[in-house]
Structure formats: structure tokens, C-alpha cells
Amino acid sequence: MSSGPELYFVSFRKMEKGYFTSSCNLGKAQWITTTDPDSNSSQIDPPDTTNWGRVLVVIHGFNVNENGFEEDFDNLVGRVKQFPAASQYTHVVGILWPAEAHLVKYETAKENAQTLAMDNSTYEFRATLIKICECSQNRRNGTVDVLAHSLGNYLLFKALKEQVAISCVMPISFRYIFSCAAAVNNDSVEENKDSTSIIGEKTYYSALQTLCTKIFVLFSREDSVLEFGYPVEEWHSALGYSGAKDPQNTPSTYTQIDCSDCIHGHSEYWTSEDVYKILAKLVGLTHLPSKKTFTAQQILNRPARGQPYSLWKPLIVVFAILALFGFLYTRATSKFDNRA
């Protein structure tokens, strides 16, 4: 059995002045870059990377700190090491970004993701993706796959959309994107027929059509964070909850997998045995599917399981109804008291 892939981290941090710094270790060398205009720091070229072959880039989501990501990353690497030989990676790169490890700071985390994705001065995040792709392309049959979770998909998709808009040459080229629990709108991967140019395009359609061979979207209708939390913030349904609103209007590279049978929580993708079995199958594909939608059980070649009964969902509905009646009653009595 292989000793497993070499592991690397890229860390983006937001400083007090509002600028970002990034550091990366590639072997024994490191580079540090910054968006601080007053800084004298410069990029140090990484070491010889001609031995990079099959690379997996991992991007975490919202409400994750460094320790939490390292735990998820270690678990993922342990599972990836068990993939069949034909599906093995030579390198796994974890990308840590300021996702605000606090539930009430969703908007701040999203702003951080947008800043990193769209920064055109040093475009650090995209520059990192470009460097990784270059490292892999130095080797025959080298490939780069990306696994993004939750709001990490927003960061990734936004960066790819920006890259397509500003560049005629595409230095970023992924083989597969594995999108898990994507915290982006469920129609944001569809073709925007009202758009007249890529630059003005409101969706990620062109980016996902151009910059990857295949994107697999893993979603679950048992994900309560995306079912209830995402609509509160965005007033929209999430891709990671329902899949694409109209799968037939997605890029030719797009396939979605309904994991509702095996995923019953937002973070379960990191630990689910079934998800890693699915990933191992997808990584080892020799013929890409043209079908738009599968279930997890179809990928795993087993009959569908019944959904476990969950009591908390009806309780939430009852609580919401009671809260609404309470609000309306308080408002009505307040108006009556004012008239009196």
C-alpha cells in the first residue's frame, strides 16, 4: 500500500488593517505574500515541483477555525489514503481562509471570501490555484481535483468566475470539482440567458463550463443548516440542499448526486463512509457520466434506504407557527392599547 500523499497547507489570514496575508509550505520552502501596500514582503519561489502528479485541493467552509479544519483535513487524508491505487493522490493541499469561526459572522465570512476571490492586485487566492495547477502540469498525466465544502464553494466559484472574466488564457484547469453542501444559490450554476457577455454574467455557468472537466455536486435535503439557515441569510434555496433548480440548464460538465440517504447533517461530508466511497468511485472513473442527476445509492450500487424519522423538524415548524402567532398577537394588542 502507498505511504500516502504529501500534505501541504496554504493559510490566508486577515490582518487588523483589513489586508490579507498568505503563507504556503511546499516541501522545505515557504512563501509569504500580502495585500498590504506598505509591506516590503515578496514572494519566494517554491522548490522544484516537477514530481507533483495527482493533486487534491481542499477548501473548508463557514464557521471553521484552524484547529477544526486540521481535524477535518486529517480525517479526509486518512480516508483518501485508503482509495484504490488507481485513485490515489500524490499531493493534498489544504487551504485555510478567514471563515469567521462564529455563527453570527456569516456576512463577514462571505465578504472575506469575495475579497480573496476578486482581488485583482495580487489575486493571491487565484495565484495559489494557478501555482498548484502549474505544479501538477509539470508532470505527465498530472491532474488537479478540488473538494470544497459549504461557503468554500462560494470562494472557489467566485474566484473561477473572476478568472474567466479577466483572462483569455486559462492557467487554472481542474479535472474534477467535488462540491459538498454548497452554500451558493441553487440557480447560480445555471446559464444566464439574459447575459450578453461572460464579464457581466451573474452565474458561475461559464466558469464551471470552462475551468473543469467535471463538477460533481453532492447535496442533501437532510442538511438543516442549508435548509433553514441559508434561506434566512440569502432568501434563496442553497445548491447544497436541493441541487440545481434546473439541472438541464447547467453546464455540460455538471452532475449532481443526491446524498439525502446518507448525509443528515451539514458537516457529515467530512466523516461519512459513504461519501468517501462515492469519491473513490468518482476519482477512478474512466468514462464520465452525461446524466445530470444520480442518488448516492445509485453510485454505490445498492438499494435506497428509508429516511429515518426526525422529530425535530416538525417541532421547528410548530415553534415557528407559535412564534408567528405570538408576534401577531403582541402587535394586535399593542395597537388596541394605543387606541385605548
**pTM strictly above 0.85:** no
Top-confidence range, 137-141, 153-157, 170-174: 153-157
End-to-end C-alpha distance for the chain, whole angstroms: 82
- Cell 457577455 belongs to residue: 197
Q: What does the pLDDT read at residue 196?
A: 45
Rounded to an integer, the average pLDDT of 138-157 is 87
Rounded to an integer, the average pLDDT of 256-284 is 91
Q: What does the pLDDT read at residue 214?
A: 94
Q: What kind of fold does domain 6-308 have according to CATH? A: Rossmann fold (3.40.50)
Q: Residue 127: pLDDT above 90? A: no
Q: Is the model more confident about 50 or about 200?
A: 50
Rounded to an integer, the average pLDDT of 179-194 is 87
Q: Residue 167: pLDDT above 80? A: no
Q: Residue 19: pLDDT above 70? A: no
Strands 29-34 and 20-26, sheet pairing: antiparallel
Q: Is the model more confident about 58 or about 326?
A: 58
